[in-house]
Chains A and B, each alone.
With several copies, the nearest count.
Chain A
Amino acid sequence: MAEASTAQVTARLPDDAALHIFRTMATIRAMEDRINRGLNAGEFRMTFYPVRGQEVIPAAVSEHLRPEDYMVTTYRGMHDCIAKGIPLTELVAEMLGRVGGTSKGKGGPMHLSDPRSGLMVTTGVVGGGVPIAVGLGLAAQLRGTDQVSVVNFGDGATSIGATHEAANMAALWQLPVVFVCQHNGYGEHTAFADYTRTEHLADRFRPYGMAAVTVDGNSVPDMYAAAGEAVARARSGGGPTFLECLTFRLEGHSFGASTEYVDADRLAQARADEPLGRYRAWLVAEDRATEEQLAEVERQVDEAVEAAVAEALASPAPGLEELQTDVFSSDEAVPR
């Protein structure tokens, strides 16, 4: 299936989009590499949920989005946040718990948000963000704007009730919501086949009365095309879409976590075929870009990432006066 659709949709991926997607993916990868270096060297500490191997999905989806479009994601959402446009310095500073972060260091890596770039919520509760994204879509519909609400979640989140309640509501009200299920094959340490007998998750969501497709989440042309249709449908009042984006988690659940439960051959093969390298080669092979162009992009994003991390590290911890602010609109409401 991936084959077929790739063929027919390639044409639909314009050069500028193709290059910008590469830049986004390269930025995500550079940031993950930089964080890994920092963690391995003991330069800093943080809980980090790797996104390696899942870069294509948000890079392709965001190509169809505007800053005023909404996005909701999960703890494993650094790639989504970067693609949606959270300033890199604020992003890293938040992950480090510094006052220069998106949440002044009070949220942390599992709670990145920046309404200015449309990234409204990052939740640490599996499935918890899905109903919220439906509400963002409802606000757009009630206001008559053409904003779209995109919600990212994992394959494991399809087992939890909130996701189903939200899907039914979004379909019922024909809301401008795109459900982006990043199907990386695992829920923490449990493989897909060990927690459901469903073959294609899209089959579970289609019956709610929404478009639901399974797409190769590691193929830029496929993801670009599928996301384009979903976003266009939402923007034009055509209702929600469920995108089952097939990818593979190339690391453990979190930084340093074991992968002993993952089939070694499959993992090795997936790493060898990892999407950034695959896409880079494709761009050159298809004459979409020259080796030099891509190397230059890589140089630029490395520089940007390096600068962001340096700036973030220079940001101090939040002061103790922050402990009980932002609890309520007015601090007087805080019980003593």
Chain B
Amino acid sequence: MTTVEDPVHTLSEGVNQALDEAMSDDETVFCLGEDIEDPIGGVMRGTRGLSTKYGRARVRNTPIAEQAIVGCAIGASLAGMRPVAEVMLMDFFAVCMDQVANHAAKLRYMSGGRTNVPITIRTSVGGGAQFGAQHSQSLEGWMMHIPGLKVVVPSTPRDAKGLLYSAIFDDDPCIHMETMSLLFTRGPVPAGHFAIPLGSAEVKRPGTDVTVIAWGKEVPEALAAAETLAGEGTDVEVLDLRTLVPLDRQAILDSVAKTRRAVVVHAATTFAGPGAEIASLVSHELFGELAAPVERLGAAYAPIPFAAELETALYPDRGRIAETIRAMA
């Protein structure tokens, strides 16, 4: 657990520390991506300082060529390296999904276990910053649907450090989603070596009346809604899934079995989105035991608009989460 002594850092610094620890622990870890070398150190600063510390062989800028970036990481991993590739924004997975879904995810199985792909793909997830329809998408739903990919979405600096470290040393391909709106939020981060196992959700706020299941961008919104509702006498439990694959099924079912009410909240589009899996799981496993239907709150069905007023309306926020919960009581 986090202790009071833990120094405070941003989520971006948590990412940076995990990369630093991993590179110093293991020669086979290296980073590749666009603009990741110093002085820039990544457009979101995740790799800042690392090319200076470990050299440009192990922290290398690439051409603007995501298929080559991810494919190159896959190849190096087949030869025993642990590459950490950066795809600048999650929207750009659309140009390299063949390497991600048809190769990284499938090579272990297609080789009957003779090869494996221990890569980590770090990516920034936009949304809420007026970057427009092509620079704001949360596409974890695509990744979850492809057997063979692990999907990690930290919402705090501490989780970012611990989960990314585990992802890098995991023997399967991991997608590490770094939520832009949280990158510079601050929180305690254990110094030195620190890992959080993949597949363990965390109760970010215990409660008894309703469970909000969230990840990434929406976790702080859920916590804020919980605060508001506490004042109204409703005790909300906030479960941060942290990894979507592996999915902490038990944590979800235990919490909702207790509260008998569930709301799934994410920044991805609601329709055919990741929340549908969680909602179906809960509705099926707890059939007859729920006090209300499982609610799903995600982005409205539309490309992400530029105008701030529209973009704000697109995403679920603390207000809509609170409203939804009130209506379930």
Contacts and interface: CB of A to CB of B under 8 A. Distances in A.
Contacts of A188: 34-35, 43, 64
B75 A125 contact: no
B21 interface: no
A261 B64 contact: no
Contacts of A107: 109-112, 132-133, 306
Residue from B39, B77, B108 having most chain A Cβ neighbours under 10 A: B108
Contact of B302 (A133, A162, A168, A324): A324
Nearest to A159: B63
Interface size of A as a range: 35 or more
Interface in B30-75: 30, 34-35, 39-40, 43, 57-58, 60-68, 70-75
Nearest to B277: A335
B98 A106 contact: no
Nearest to B77: A135
B309 A125 contact: no
Contacts of B139: none
Contacts of B133: 107, 111
B198 to A, nearest CB: 8
A110 interface: yes
Given A166-B71, A317-B309, A335-B271, A142 B57 contact: yes
B68 A335 contact: no
A106 B110 contact: yes
A320 B313 contact: yes
A110 B309 contact: no
Contacts of B245: 333, 335
Contacts of A137: 75
Interface stretch (B99-107, B160-168, B222-230): B99-107
B112 A131 contact: no
Interface string A108-137: 111101110000110111111011111111
B62 A142 contact: no
Contacts, number: 282
B91 interface: yes
A84 interface: no
Contacts of A97: 130, 306-309
Contact of B306 (A108, A166, A333, A334): A108
Given A125-B134, A160-B65, A162-B95, A326 B112 contact: yes
A128 B302 CA distance: 20
A329 B112 contact: no
B83 interface: yes
A335 B108 contact: no
B213 to A, nearest CB: 15
Contacts of B251: none
A-B interface, 5 closest residue pairs, ranked by CB to CB distance from nearest:
A135-B75, A131-B71, A108-B306, A103-B112, A139-B79
Interface of A: 45-47, 70, 72, 97-98, 101-111, 113-115, 120-121, 123-128, 130-140, 142-143, 149, 156-157, 159-162, 165-166, 168-169, 172-173, 187-190, 194-196, 258, 260-261, 317-318, 320, 322-329, 332-336
30 contacts: A97-B306, A97-B307, A103-B111, A106-B109, A107-B132, A114-B114, A115-B114, A128-B98, A131-B72, A131-B74, A131-B99, A132-B75, A135-B83, A138-B72, A139-B79, A142-B81, A160-B65, A162-B71, A187-B64, A188-B43, A195-B64, A320-B313, A324-B301, A327-B109, A327-B147, A327-B302, A332-B246, A333-B172, A334-B302, A335-B271
